Amino acid sequence: MPLSIPHISTGQLVTAAWLSSVADGLNSILMSASGQEWQGYLRTTQVGPHAIGIAADANYQLMLGGTYAGSATYAGGANFITTLTPAVGASAFGLRVWPTITEAASGTHPEFASLVIHPPTVNAAAATVTTAESLRIVGAPTNGVANYAMHVVSGNVRVNQKIALNYDGSSAFMTTGVMVNQGSNTDEAIALKASGVVAHGITAAADTDTYGTMSILSGTDGGMKVRGISEGIIGLDLKGSVSNADTTKTAASNGAINISSSAKSGTGLIAIATANSNLLVVRNEGAGARFILDIDGDSHQDVGTAWTNFDDHEDVELLHALSVGVSHSADPLRHAFGAFLDKHRDVLERERIVTFNEDGHHFVNWSRTHMLTIGAVRQLGMQVQALKTQLRQIEANHA
């Protein structure tokens, strides 16, 4: 029940004179058993240091301390469960930390912060602690237009060690980094968005404002799928920038971009050794493989129904023209066989064997060039066979 002390009006400032007049009442409060109440506002003009359950500390304006057992369910240091009724159009906060800190006239301050959270000091005993945390956010509200468990309105966020999403943060291969554990989910693990810029409309693959995703390739086997999505003609641009380039041409050579393949061996990885194994495959999504590079150094291309025999042309002459057309302007070949280029340049472009460009960077279609080369060999072979037949006939006539 409430203690009986001299009357104080609601909101009245507690002065030293008033405190002196009610010294006996205050003394009874200080010395009374637990469960007594103070009615009305409580206010003091003293800025501190103050303390509850512990000796005051000149470093802190208010201290809360002492040993407190709590109940069979919880033991907490402080609990804010107030009910707020903000006015129309007003915001509300369960707890607001907004100090004003004044710098010294000189020297260096090592750190200023509105809130510092230290890890709890756990006096170890026989019990098992399932989870120990310095900060725990139970969940996000649900009745807002936008709901967040934590919202950093502005400013940089720094994390000196790991960020673990849906995971305990343990990894034998990471000291500092980001971990994403999707559990049994097989959709996007990482989605990169640009809501004010991107609206590609490919919503069967991702949200319209998502320009890049990383996800699991197979829900049973694993693997990673990286996808870039664009409104334009480039979906994914992979670049490697180096300070020094490798000009060697050996098995140990490297490039600005390396693509490496390997195979499982126990718990480790080794080079793929099985003959004809595919190292790199270029696929047209939904239509299958188009280019294959295998372990033996062979390259394979799906020509489908695109194989062309250039039997309407003199293939050897076209090869001459191709060689002249893509040679450097000062190459003697241009002067020796320039007529071939003049005669066959249009044919080479029309048959999509080469694309000539004004800047001198001509692009050769090596697939069709191989077809042309095979055609030239066929034509030469038929000519040689015809000459052999004629030679046998001449020899027979003179026998």
Q: What is the pLDDT of residue 279?
A: 93
Residues 225 and 214: beta-carbon distance below 8 Å: yes
Nearest to 229 by CA among 249, 207, 259, 247: 207
Q: What is the pLDDT of residue 157?
A: 86
Cis status of the peptide bond prior to 110, with omega within 30 of 0: no
| Amino acid at site 225 | K
CA distance 96 to 388: 101
Q: What is the pLDDT of residue 361?
A: 75
pLDDT per position as a tens digit, 77-95: 888 888 989 899 998 888 8
pLDDT in tens, the chain (399 residues): 444 455 556 566 666 666 656 554 555 554 444 555 666 666 778 888 888 888 889 988 888 888 888 888 888 888 888 898 989 999 888 888 889 999 999 999 999 998 999 998 888 888 888 888 888 888 999 989 999 989 989 998 888 888 888 877 678 888 888 888 888 999 999 999 999 899 999 999 999 999 999 999 999 999 999 999 999 999 999 999 999 999 888 888 999 999 999 999 999 999 999 998 999 999 998 888 888 888 988 888 777 666 666 667 776 776 666 665 656 565 554 554 455 556 777 877 887 777 878 777 777 777 777 777 877 787 788 888 888 888 888 888 887
Half-sphere exposure of 350 (CA within 13 A, CB side): 8
Q: What is the pLDDT of residue 19?
A: 60
Q: What is the pLDDT of residue 222?
A: 93
Tokens 């409104």 sit at which residue? 231
pTM for the full model? 0.66
Q: What is the pLDDT of residue 6?
A: 53
Q: What is the pLDDT of residue 251?
A: 84
Residues 153 and 91: beta-carbon distance below 8 Å: no
Nearest to 118 by CA among 138, 139, 133, 99: 133
- Chain center to CA of 99: 36
Q: What is the pLDDT of residue 1?
A: 44
